[in-house]
Amino acid sequence: MPAYQRILLKLSGEALMGDDAFGINRATIVRIVDEIADVTRLGVQVAIVIGGGNIFRGVAGGSVGMDRATADYMGMLATVMNSLALADTMNKAGLVARVMSAIGIEQVVEPYVRPKALQYLEEGKVVVFAAGTGNPFFTTDTAAALRGAEIGAEVVLKATKVDGVYTADPNKDPSATRYTSISFDEAMVKNLQVMDATAFALCRDQKLPVRVFSIFKSGALRNVVMGADEGTLVHV
């Protein structure tokens, strides 16, 4: 039996790039969707928040000197683009995906409505939450924490390029070791930067655990859902 029945998967936009400089790598997004499909077959309800860094990176040079709120709204639109691409790939793979946006663009995707999102999850659909929180100055990490709490997710799964939280940067320090588990308070004291401070505080206050793992390791998502020792669990 899966260890979790309802999860919030947080994907960075960069996770979709593969080896490309920006944009979406087709082979990479298909592989990620295969991992998601695998856990849905276990009966796990899956909601997703995805960043927009891979899209926004392509226009980052032009954003220099731009008003922060304007740049953040551009980033929100980038997350909508990623969400549409991810949902399209999931639908083609046999899943049923629904994109819900925190900003109003009804001609493209439906607005985020919590009861509707819960209904979709209970029907076995994968729900992709786009446009962050709908507000500038908040990251998609915060959106993941917020939506995770709202839908009653049992855990936020932060999928990264690194297979957990380490005592130091493993790319710079070969002696760095991975934490199997760590408390929110200890991670904050050690400034491990698992998520941004707002998201981290929200998860801690809501007693919503966070597991950090590598989305690039085949089968890692399934291992996490089944309760295996994969990545790092951050808990109260």
Q: Is 56 annotated as a binding residue?
A: no
CATH of domain 6-235: 3.40.1160.10
Higher pLDDT pick, 115 / 67: 115
DSSP code, position 194 = S
Question: pLDDT band at 19, cuts 50/70/90?
Answer: confident
Q: Is 198 annotated as a binding residue?
A: no
Higher pLDDT pick, 19 / 128: 128
Q: Is 112 annotated as a binding residue?
A: no
Q: Is 10 annotated as a binding residue?
A: yes
Instruction: Write down the pLDDT at residue 211.
Output: 97
Instruction: Give pLDDT tens digits for 64-114.
Output: 678 889 989 999 999 999 999 999 999 999 999 999 999 999 999 999 999
Q: Is 184 annotated as a binding residue?
A: no
Q: Is 28 annotated as a binding residue?
A: no
Q: Is 160 annotated as a binding residue?
A: yes
Q: Is 134 annotated as a binding residue?
A: yes
Q: Is 139 annotated as a binding residue?
A: yes
Q: Is 181 annotated as a binding residue?
A: no
* Angle, CA of 137, 105 and 67, to the nearest 5°: 30
Q: Is 40 annotated as a binding residue?
A: no
CA–CA separation, 215 vs 220, rounded Å?
7
Give the pair of three-digit tokens for residue 206.
């809501």
Q: Is 115 annotated as a binding residue?
A: no
Question: pLDDT band at 62, cuts 50/70/90?
Answer: low
b/e burial code for range 83-111 (CB count within 10 A of at least 16 → b): bbbbbebbeeeebebbbbbbbeeeeebee
Instruction: Write down the pLDDT at residue 162.
Output: 87
Q: Is 148 annotated as a binding residue?
A: no
Alpha helix locations (H) across the chain? 26-40, 53-56, 68-92, 114-122, 140-151, 184-189, 197-205, 220-225
Taking each helix axis from N to C end, the angle separating 26-40 and 68-92, rounded to the nearest 10 degrees, works out to 70
Instruction: Write down the pLDDT at residue 55.
Output: 83
Question: pLDDT band at 61, cuts 50/70/90?
Answer: low
Higher pLDDT pick, 173 / 146: 146
Q: Does 60 score more than 70 pLDDT?
A: no
- Answer yes or no: are the C-beta atoms of 37 and 90 closer than 8 Å: yes
Q: Is 34 annotated as a binding residue?
A: no
Q: Does 155 score more than 70 pLDDT?
A: yes
Q: Is 65 annotated as a binding residue?
A: no
Listed residue (199, 196, 208, 197) closest to 236, CA to CA = 208
- To the question of pTM greater than 0.85 for the whole model, the response is yes
**SS3 state of residue 106:** coil
Q: Is 52 annotated as a binding residue?
A: yes
What is the arithmetic mean of pLDDT over 148-152?
98
Residues paired with 101 in a beta bridge: 111, 130
Q: Is 166 annotated as a binding residue?
A: yes
Domain spans in the chain, listed from the N-terminal domain onward: 6-235
Listed residue (121, 31, 13) closest to 76, CA to CA = 13
- Answer yes or no: are the C-beta atoms of 17 and 28 closer than 8 Å: yes
Q: Is 23 annotated as a binding residue?
A: no
Instruction: Give pLDDT tens digits for 171-218.
Output: 888 889 999 999 999 999 998 888 999 999 999 999 999 999 999 999
Q: Is 53 annotated as a binding residue?
A: yes
Q: Does 223 score more than 70 pLDDT?
A: yes
**SS3 state of residue 166:** strand
Instruction: Write down the pLDDT at residue 51.
Output: 93
Instruction: Write down the pLDDT at residue 58.
Output: 59
